Amino acid sequence: NVVVFDVYGKESKIDGIRTEFKTHDVAWSFMKQYKEMYPLYNFAMVSKQQKLEKPTIFKYI
């Protein structure tokens, strides 16, 4: 999953972007593209496991 953060570090949403991916490589590729399209936002690749209260961040740009 990809999570979007605004310039203040708060979780946000951008209409029309894909946030669910089957592999980390594809998610990372989309995150880099989104960062170019939306430079004022940050993007995190996260694992949302139901056992954990907070998601684990794998990559962040």
pLDDT string in tens for the chain (61-residue length): 899 999 999 999 999 999 999 988 999 999 999 999 999 999 998 877 666 677 666 777 7
pLDDT at 32 (0 to 100): 95
pLDDT at 33 (0 to 100): 96
Give the 3-state secondary structure of the chain: CEEEECCCCCEECCCCCCCCCCCHHHHHHHHHHHHHHCCCCEEEEEECCCCCCCCEEEEEC
pTM of whole model > 0.85?
no
